A = this chain, B = another copy of it.
Amino acid sequence: MSFINSQIHLVSRPTGEPGLDNFKQMDVAVPELLDGQVLVRNHYLSLDPYMRGRMNEGKSYAQPQPLNQVMLGGTVGEVVASKNAAFSVGDQVVGMGGWQHFFIVDGGQRGVLQKVDATHIPLSAFLGAVGMPGVTAWYGLVKIINPQAGETVVVSAASGAVGSVVGQLAKARGAQVVGLAGGAEKCRYVVETLGFDACVDYKQHADVKSLSAALKIACPNGIDGYFENVGGTILDAVMSRANAFSRVAMCGMISGYNGEPIPMSAPQLILINRMKFEGFIVTEHMDVWPEALKELGALVATGRLKFRESVSEGLASAPEAFLGLLKGRNFGKQLVKLV
């Protein structure tokens, strides 16, 4: 059996906002499998803010995405051919399949391809609430913020793949949970469907002062924990309401990904309020994944953890969907459906 593989490559690096011309789609033949290899057909591709960081050449926490190669990205799919005893045709798997229809991996490399059990969990959820975004939420909330019952936890990008899980996990631990999201529809979803105590529409607030005033109303007891997905003026506003001994999990700073660094206005508050800030990358904490996935899988399978997906159709739609993600146009976990 021979396959034609469509791929999307990064062909130039953006300065500032990326555009469609940074990407190029092309078709290549899928080579024959070698011993030990597995061929996977990707069903869903995950689009994530971290990809913007990798499009830059400069120093970051990860190697830059190479030019003229297929864009990296997490995928779920199905094994369509295997020369590896550990994988059979029909197995459902999660891996770093990239922006393409097919990918070949050495099935013996540890952790590169994971079988998943989608009996009670939708396959796409392994890219979201029961995948990297879910574990990211779990790590920052449980290991850094560690909320105590009655404390107030604030989450930015609250309707997104990570933020929505952070808030629901914090609620389950007895915290007061306040989201930040862009627009009335997202805010309504965060409160009514996800069960947050309140949600502030940051688009209604042009400056730090206005946003800080809104947070004062939403968080009458101040802020004890903040899960940072955004950065910029939102971080400044949250810091203005931070309590003594508050914790900030620095997970993403999407507002700075396009290359304009956004200063923190009042770093002295870290001292004045004896705050703790901690940046983290969830793939560096593989030891917590089993514990986190166990809790997340059980919550999703029993319907107690809600999530929402924004699904764009077809590989060719990936660049446009990715640019939309960077502008906050998605509503829930951004996926690309490939079959």
A contact set with B: CB distance below 8 Å: 53, 59-61, 228, 231, 235, 244, 250-253, 256, 261-268, 270-281, 284
Contacts and interface: CB of A to CB of B under 8 A. Distances in A.
B256 A268 contact: yes
Nearest to A251: B271
Given A250-B271, A274-B280, 8 more contacts: A61-B272, A235-B267, A261-B266, A261-B267, A275-B277, A275-B278, A276-B276, A277-B277
Nearest to A285: B274
A270 B244 contact: no
A60 B271 CA distance: 9
A217 to B, nearest CB: 18
B244 A271 contact: no
A302 to B, nearest CB: 33
A276 B271 CA distance: 13
Nearest to A244: B61
A274 B267 contact: no
Contacts of A53: 272
Contacts of A265: 261, 263
B253 A271 contact: yes
A254 to B, nearest CB: 10
Nearest to A271: B279
What 3 pairs across the A-B complex have the smallest Cβ distances? A263-B263, A271-B279, A277-B277
Contact of A270 (B60, B272, B277): B277
B272 A59 contact: yes
A271 B230 CA distance: 11
Given A61-B244, A244-B61, A277-B277, A267 B272 contact: no
A244 B251 CA distance: 15
A271 B284 contact: no
Given A264-B263, A265-B263, A267-B262, A273 B61 contact: yes
